Structure 1
Amino acid sequence: MFALTHANGWIEANVEDAVAELDRMIAVDTSFPPGLGYDDFAGLMEELVAPLGFSSERVVVPAALWQAPNGPAAGSRTNLVASRASGRPVCGLYFHVDTVPAAAGWETDPLQMKREGDRLIGLGAADMKGSIAAILLALRAAQACAVELAYDPMLLFCTDEEGGLYPGIRHLAEQGRLEGHVLNFNGSAEARIWAGCFGLFNLLVRIHGQAVHAGEGNRKGSGLNAIEGALPLLNALTELKAKVATRVSALPPPPGKPPLSAQLNLAAIQGGTAGGQVPALVELTLNRRYAPEERFEDALAEIEEVVRRSIAAVPGLTVETTLVGHLMPTADPTGPHWPRWQAAMGEGFGYAPEQFRKWGAASCSDFGWVQRATGQQEVLLGGLGRPDRNIHSPGEYTTVPDIVSLAKAVLSYLAADFRPDINPDLPPSQS
């Protein structure tokens, strides 16, 4: 254990290198939609992992899988797989490289990291580019301090987790590109045992009217205002939202939080061109988060029926719906590696075993697709998420101590000397 202890000290002494790398990651705009920065981010990752002895391969998701008519995605869906084979069992280390777009209200440039003491502020700092910086720091410490590893890390830098139609990890799983078990860093820095999560889908609704000069808009038979025509639909969706929210899941909620329930949200609305023209088109993006107990097909059909009925009530309007994003629910991801990962999280963050609690989330993951494609239920979960980190909101941040702690946790988990007694990949004689 001397090498591991030495490496933990090395992590503390060299964390500023990880901070500098996080600054570079945040500066690459990988916001989805549209997802135009994936090539540039893959190039940065290739540069950072090469000195660690990884060979990298870019894997592009074919456009036919992710393109949708009038959908929000654009650009190459470039995933990066970095590996180094030594004959050890493989542990996949998964990161989604996309962020949500920067919302209104940022007081700083979201693509330029700002530091306030130990606080590191920027788009994707916690979700989840900070995790990438932490794991690279851990691997660098292992190299510098000659820590023997129990696993060959396979780094998976993947696209379109933020509600995409065909996330990169889904494509890798369906192509048989995953090996061993996987540690997913789209999670929490808290003492958490993951119980699984909801699914989600995004539905684009396009309502068509007829454009005319605004001065003619009130005359009978002249023009058809798509925005005004959408009002019955908006009212109907508000009623449906309340109905959907009554559907409570059996997934255990986070400690101290109410039961997890299904959600329907109007996520985006666009329409019109100028004050001098009756608008001919309004576009709505609906986000539906559905519990594992619900069927995707039923949830989708329910919304489409409300859309058709509401628009049919306004003569002359037409409507089309397109599925532009879908993440399946992730079933209970427990498995034989969880006790050791829990012990590693305790080692890195200082949690006692009795502090860990099991809970699920209405937030979503792209690992439901992995479970379906591979038949492997187990997914380990960690990361830098905490309730106060403003994830998906202005002022998103992580902290230097959390980067250090996550790096130590991952290094412990990968190290051969750490808790061999509960390593399920060791022969009984070595455990």
Structure 2
Amino acid sequence: MEPRRRETADASAATIDPAEVEALTCALVAVPSVNPGGTEEAAVEVLAQACRDAGFEVQVSEAAPGRPNLVATVNGDADGPGLMFLGHSDVVPPGPGWTGDPFVPRRDGDLIIGRGATDMKGGIAAAVVAMKAVAQAVADGVDVSGPVRLVVTVDEEEHGVGVRHLVEHPPAGEHLGCIVAEPTRLEVVRGCRGASYFDVEVTGRAAHSGRPSDGASAIDAAARVIEVIGADQRRMAADPDPLLGFGTWNVGTIQGGQGISVVAPSCSMGVDRRLMPGEDVHEIGRRLSDEIRSAGIDSDGITVSVTPTMFLPGFATPEDHPLVTATAQAVVDSGAPTSVGGWTAACDGGWTSSALGIPTVVMGPGDINGQAHQPDESVSLAELVTAAQAYLRVALALLSD
């Protein structure tokens, strides 16, 4: 970045108020938006009002009844390609183990504690405050060539209803990039695996347990299906990708049987398959079905069906892409160390990259592994402020002359 632009970015970053970041983070945490439950609407209204108060253009559209997506825009009159920030308004259930009310935000030194503080209401708040600083820079005469948008979807933690609605109704215009404000500890994630869920239904034939040969045990067959899945896992692990590793299987739930003295007539499994960029969920399901048949499981009184129920694509953005390099430099210029790499988690960025064609990275405050989905979830206020400054710097680096 040339000296004049750096001076402008430094001056704008200095205007970001930690109290403002803290207040919006806490206001969002204080409104439960637990998923499953479809309760995002109240939290989205808090966010929408904060954006309206900041002078943003705000659009709210229902992805499903009572479940609104939000798009907030600054510098919307600019006709150049823009920059998108992406987040989600839903949070996972609080669960046991909290030392206080999970929806009454509280401070412990530098930490803000509450469900959603790190995943990902803090990141959303940082983006809003950064966009407010962009708007002020424009008002002060800085030439910003395109709009800056915040897109907040519903249902990210479950089935992706919100991001699918976004794909069907994308914001107008082109975007130079998308930054997903998920918690990465301010590391720049240029690639994520995707995720998919499968229902595996095994049907057998009931019989008296005194003569089990009269029946066909769905539970025994399900155990053999798990062996097939394990073999596929070992095949993938033998050829890892340098950035993202390899796809993984996990049998997360299993239910089956009618009674202890009955040969099991049915068994069902819920299976997670993490996806490499470009993998097709339907092809994976067909291949698993073929392997089950090849193993001789789907025969002699046993039938097995494999049905995909959820799909979130993976993505990978080239390491030398301007979005990647500008985001990493923005974090460093904001006073924090960073790195560029891949991520074990999945996020809505897979849709912006693969379906909307927008170059995408993930970078945000908080720790997905150490804090997200856990009791007493917390995020550092200092990290929130650094994220806001970095978001501002990226916008100015990519969009200002």
Q: Which residue of 1 aligns with 2:3?
A: none
2:127 corresponds to 1:97:
no
Structure-2 separation of matches of 1:241 and 1:396: 32
Q: Which residue of 1 aligns with 2:112?
A: 120
Cα 1:44/1:283, change in 2 over 3 Å: farther
Structure-2 separation of matches of 1:338 and 1:147: 28
Deviation at 1:294, TM superposition (A): 5.5
2:341 corresponds to 1:359:
yes
Cα 1:291/1:143, change in 2 over 3 Å: closer
User: So what's the TM-score if we normalise by structure 2?
Assistant: 0.78
Report the 3-state secondary structure (helix = DSSP H, G, I; strand = E; otherwise coil) of the residue aligned with 1:304. Answer: helix
Structure-2 separation of matches of 1:327 and 1:294: 10
Deviation at 1:94, TM superposition (A): 0.9
Cα 1:87/1:247, change in 2 over 3 Å: same
Q: Which residue of 1 aligns with 2:247?
A: 262
**8 A contact 2:255–2:267 mirrored in 1:** yes
Select between 108-117 and 122-131 the one with higher mean Cα deviation.
Answer: 108-117
**8 A contact 1:246–1:262 mirrored in 2:** no
Report the 3-state secondary structure (helix = DSSP H, G, I; strand = E; otherwise coil) of the residue aligned with 1:186. Answer: coil
Deviation at 1:244, TM superposition (A): 2.9
Aligned counterpart for 2:360 among listed residues 362, 371, 379: 379
Structure-1 separation of matches of 2:12 and 2:224: 65
Structure-2 separation of matches of 1:241 and 1:318: 23
Q: Which residue of 1 aligns with 2:152?
A: 157
2:186 corresponds to 1:184:
no
**8 A contact 2:26–2:105 mirrored in 1:** no
**8 A contact 2:16–2:130 mirrored in 1:** no
Select between 399-408 and 315-324 the one with higher mean Cα deviation.
Answer: 315-324
**8 A contact 2:330–2:393 mirrored in 1:** yes
Q: Which residue of 2 aligns with 1:237?
A: 229
Cα 1:238/1:5, change in 2 over 3 Å: same
Q: How does 1:334-373 map to 2 (within 5 A)?
A: 335-348=321-334, 350-351=335-336, 356-373=338-355
**8 A contact 1:3–1:147 mirrored in 2:** no
Q: Which residue of 2 aligns with 1:12?
A: 18
Aligned counterpart for 1:78 among listed residues 42, 48, 68: 68
Aligned counterpart for 1:28 among listed residues 7, 21, 33: 33
**Number of paired residues?**
387
TM-align CA RMSD = 3.9
Select between 97-106 and 278-287 the one with higher mean Cα deviation.
Answer: 97-106
Cα 1:16/1:198, change in 2 over 3 Å: closer
**8 A contact 1:142–1:148 mirrored in 2:** no
Percent of aligned pairs with the same amino acid: 25
Structure-1 separation of matches of 2:324 and 2:172: 19
Report the 3-state secondary structure (helix = DSSP H, G, I; strand = E; otherwise coil) of the residue aligned with 1:323. Answer: strand
2:196 corresponds to 1:201:
yes
Cα 1:401/1:299, change in 2 over 3 Å: same
Give deviations 1:239-261, integer Å, cap 9, x for gaps: 3333332230132x6xxxxxx23
Structure-1 separation of matches of 2:169 and 2:260: 50
Report the 3-state secondary structure (helix = DSSP H, G, I; strand = E; otherwise coil) of the residue aligned with 1:363. Answer: coil
Deviation at 1:186, TM superposition (A): 2.5
Q: Which residue of 2 aligns with 1:287?
A: 272
Deviation at 1:327, TM superposition (A): 1.8
Deviation at 1:10, TM superposition (A): 5.1
Structure-1 separation of matches of 2:241 and 2:315: 13
Cα 1:99/1:204, change in 2 over 3 Å: farther
Amino acid at match of 1:126: T
User: So what's the TM-score if we normalise by structure 1?
Assistant: 0.73
Structure-1 separation of matches of 2:77 and 2:297: 63
Alignment gaps of 5+ in structure 1: 63-74, 254-259, 416-422
